[in-house]
Structure 1
Amino acid sequence: MTRIIAEYLLETPYPLEEVAAMMAGEQSSGTFVRVAGETDELRARSAAQVLDITSVADTQEPTLHSAYVERKNKGGPFRQARVRIAYPSENIGRNLPTLGATVSGNLYDMGETTGLKLLKLEVPASYRARFELPRVGIQGTRKSIGIFDRPIFGTIIKPNVGMRPDDIANLVDQLCAAGVDFIKDDEVCANPDCAPLAERVPAVMDVIRKWRDRTGKNVMMAFNITDETDAMKRHADLVEAEGGTCVMASLNWCGLSGMETLRHHTPLAIHGHRNGFGAMSRHPLLGMAFPAYQALYRLAGVDHMHVHGIGGKFVDTSDEVTEAARVCLQPLSEGGPDDQVMPAFSSGQWAGTLPKTLEAAQGSDLMFMCGGGILAHPNGPAAGVQSLRDAYETLMSGQTLANGAKTRPQLAAAIDFFGAR
């Protein structure tokens, strides 16, 4: 039997074994009492199985409120444990939303729990084979841009919103002249009235084609096509017709179904933006951790995944960003295909954060996106891009950035300007 294994962090004042069994039953063949038709044969075929329970800690106060626990006047200790549950894939079929509902779903609402977080998913290779692979992935992205021996250095259109199509095209022109590899829309700029995609895509692609003809370099532009599903398909068609190579979508707001439909529809690289993920992840005993989250959206076939940035402006610790990058760079299933996706580091990045980023990714297969790190460089965007290349070349030569800055003025300027912030 093929099984998908989910690992949780659970907190409950009830016996761990009982609550884990309730979790398995609730999300497979059972409910809180045995019902008609729930035969032993059906249970043997379809019931989820608790694989193991590992105690973590006890606390005297509940992490989260539960009206059920309060009504039952149940006090501490509140036990925390890691619980692994195996779900038969036959219960789910080739159905990503139902997979999500199975491994998460009502579990978060079970009265016996005062904390629950989905930590990771183990997807067998035979089940992974039922879903889309990345159409472009790491090597396809490198081939499209023509960069094979270093990170992909990119930036974000800023200001986030408000510019007209001509203004955006002019900025893209400056960024192409500066030598950037990758440009993306901001997550809040998709199809605004001031710069609709119908006007913005042709204007920007006219600039990118101009630079491609002039230099041979094909800058990848991730157009934000987040929308309802049919509109996303139309937007992707427009980008493809204009010679574009990448589209971006906000994963949480398009959902698993929307992303899977988009993947079926377009051959373009899909840049997966995880904005809103913090609402799922920040609480230590509620929601979903990134290893589980990325597994679901990789089954939808995305090519790039945001992992935030080390030393950036967001809440993630260095360890959390490192874990996120490394799971993206591993095959999703043991013995499965090479389906790695390119981690996209972003948020407060500049030349000075590159060393720890390379260490986190254990190599250069990454997107390193710098908004201010390029656009706010004191000597201009071209100097910002050069400071990133200087930083990488310095590190590859075995020097520290401080030593490299002695002979590399744009790196020195970046350190003086951003390092003081």
Structure 2
Amino acid sequence: MNRITATYEIESPIGITKAAEVMAGEQSTGTFGKIALETDELRARCAAQIDELTVNSVGHSPSLPSRFSSNSYERGIVKISWPIDNLGTSLPNLMSTIAGNLFELAELSAIRMTDIGLPKVFAKTNPGPAFGATGTRGELGAHDGPIIGTIIKPCVGLSPAETADLVQILAVAGIDFIKDDELQANGPHCPFPKRVEAVMGVLNAHADKTGKRVMYAFNITDEVDQMKRNMDLLSAHGATCAMVCMNSVGLSGLRAARDHGNHIIHGHRAGWGLYSRSPHIGISFPAWQKLWRLAGADHLHVNGLASKFTEPDPVVAESAKSVQTPVFYDRGPAHLAMPVFSSAQTIWQIQPARTLLGNDDFIFCAGGGIMSHPGGPGDGVIALRQAADAARAGISIEKYSRQHPQLRAALDVFIKPTLDLG
């Protein structure tokens, strides 16, 4: 394949066929009127093509406000392709092409991008994750099963010393992974340099004493130059993981973080609902995550099963599996990332998460699912690990809990959620 493709669900008051023609023209050689320099030769070389078109339904009212009115609104699927020579392999310029002005076209009363197809040449200039699952496990030492993690809570308000005190409790409890909340970056009450110094002082001492190195994802999100300085500080203190709020810094910011230093990039998708919540406009996660991975994300948040957010379980499952699906199938494990389950996760969701993925290459982050255990955070971590062991053994957690008191206590506290995985 030497062309870039994008697939969209669209709705139009002028009909799917005409709307697709407008989309292809707007995002390549066309404009609202014929111009002299738009020659037949130029169009043949650079124009976008409509590769597929399917009408699925017809309605009588628009899904979104539209300047054009009609008594009939066709809805369907359109796949458009572009020659790679229009833009090269730049991810920011790719976004301008496949998700640019077409989201504003008056000829569309709904548009959602659902998939992206890229030529393999993108892999040469966009190397993807530097670590992924294998590298993450390597930084943690010998490690079996899913990575058990948590988030610093409360989200903001703790001082560097108070953050370090909580990290000490979690490290002693046996946690594998801890992350800053996305709201905590470099606030005056918890400055980034002091937080790094305090937290890594605890974790380095814990590693020296026990041999177990806990991974901490520090939120480096900032201007690009400041993110680089933040990563230099992480290196100076022996930290291995940098968290980036991807929608805040963009693809270029994410790539800059990937290329600077030698850190695992924990990709947080704060703001994701702007792109995903409406079925009538936006971008699907399976499409977006391809670009985040090419830009260098090693870990990608996918929400959690039976979480507090709006995405239903089948969408979460599709998102998690997409992160472990190759962008380019001839590259083996290259470009694979680790899905991160979080939001209202307890001992009940580990087994379904493992079942839908068919492997242990995921991070399972629980806040209250650890902190609210009646035996304290230590027993909370142990209970989650026991739930993971039960999943790997193919035993229900109810049965497994008979010989594992920490898991038994967790079952008595955490209400079993209703899952809908089809």
Alignment TM class, shorter chain as reference: over 0.9
Q: Residue 44 of structure 1 aligns with which residue?
A: 44
Paired residues of 2:286 and 2:322 also in contact (CA < 8 A): yes
C-alpha displacement of 1:147: 4.4
Q: Residue 288 of structure 2 aligns to which amino acid in structure 1?
A: Y
For the residues of structure 1 that align with 2:31 and 2:265, how far apart are their CA atoms?
Answer: 39
1:194 aligns with 2:195: no
For the Cα contact (< 8 Å) 1:89–1:127, is it kept in 2?
no
1:153-180 CA distance string (max 9 Å, x none): 0000011111111100111111110000
What do the CA deviations read for 1:258-283 (whole angstroms, capped 9, x no partner)?
11111121210010000111111010
Please provide the CA RMSD for this pair: 1.3
* Alignment map for 1:151-230 (pairs within 5 Å): 151-230=146-225
Are residue 359 (structure 1) and residue 355 (structure 2) matched? yes
For 1:336 and 1:297, the matched residues in 2 are separated by 17
> Matched residues in 1 for 2:212 and 2:82: separation?
47
User: Residues 188 and 76 from structure 1, CA distance in 2 versus in 1: closer, same or farther, beyond 3 angstroms?
Assistant: same
Helix, strand or coil at the partner of 2:37: coil
Seq. identity, %: 43
| Equivalent position SS for 1:158 | coil
Equivalent residue number for residue 420 of structure 2: none
Q: Which residue of 1 aligns with 2:396?
A: 400
One-letter amino acid of the counterpart of residue 14, structure 2: Y
Quick check: 1:410 aligned with 2:395?
no
Secondary structure of 1:36's match? Answer: coil
1:73-222 pair list within 5 angstroms: 74-222=69-217
Q: Does 1:350 align with 2:346?
A: yes
Question: What secondary structure, in the 3-state scheme, does the structure 1 residue paired with 2:5 have?
Answer: strand
**2:13 equivalent to 1:27:** no
Following the alignment from structure 2 to structure 1, what is the Cα–Cα distance between the partners of residues 355 and 311? Answer: 16
**Is the partner of 1:125 in helix, strand or coil?**
coil
Change (3 A) 1:14 1:334: farther
Indicate the residue corresponding to 2:65 in structure 1.
65
Structure 1: distance between partners of 2:37 and 2:143 = 59
Structure 1 residue 335 displacement after superposition: 2.3
3-state SS of 2:81 partner: strand
Paired residues of 2:371 and 2:380 also in contact (CA < 8 A): yes
Structure 1 residues 376, 261: CA separation in 2 closer, same or farther (over 3 Å shift)? same
Q: How many positions carry a matched residue from both structures?
A: 416
Deviation digits for residues 114-161 of structure 1 (CA, Å, limit 9, x no counterpart): 000111111222223221221111100011012442000000001111
TM-score by length of 1: 0.96
Tell me the distance in 2 between the aligned counterparts of 1:105 and 1:49: 16
Question: In structure 1, what is the Cα distance between the partners aligned to 2:396 and 2:265?
Answer: 35
Does the 8 Å contact 1:391/1:411 carry over to 2? yes
- In structure 1, give the amino acid aligned to 2:16: L
**Partner secondary structure for residue 38 of structure 1:** coil
1:368 to 350, 364, 367: 364
Q: Structure 2 CA distance, aligned partners of 1:382 and 1:38?
A: 68
Give the CA deviation at 1:32: 2.5
Secondary structure, aligned partner of 2:218 = strand
Letter of the 2:343 partner, please give it.
S
CA distance in 2, matches of 1:169, 1:289: 37
- AA at the equivalent of 1:20: A
1:251 — aligned with what?
246
| 1: CA distance, partners of 2:71 / 2:353 | 42
Contact 1:346-1:370 at 8 Å conserved across structures: yes
Task: State the match for 2:316 in structure 1.
Answer: 321
1:420/1:120 Cα in 2 relative to 1: closer, same or farther (>3 Å)? Answer: closer
Name structure 1 gaps, 5 residues minimum: none
Counterpart CA distance in 1 for 2:314 and 2:86 is 35
1:385 matched residue in structure 2: 381
8 Å Cα contact 1:2/1:127 also seen in 2: no
Q: CA deviation at 1:420?
A: 6.3
Rounded Cα–Cα distance in structure 1 between residues aligned with 2:378 and 2:96:
47
Q: Aligned to 1:265, which of 256, 260, 266?
A: 260
CA contact (8 A) 2:339 2:362 kept: yes
Alignment partner of 2:297: what SS?
A: coil
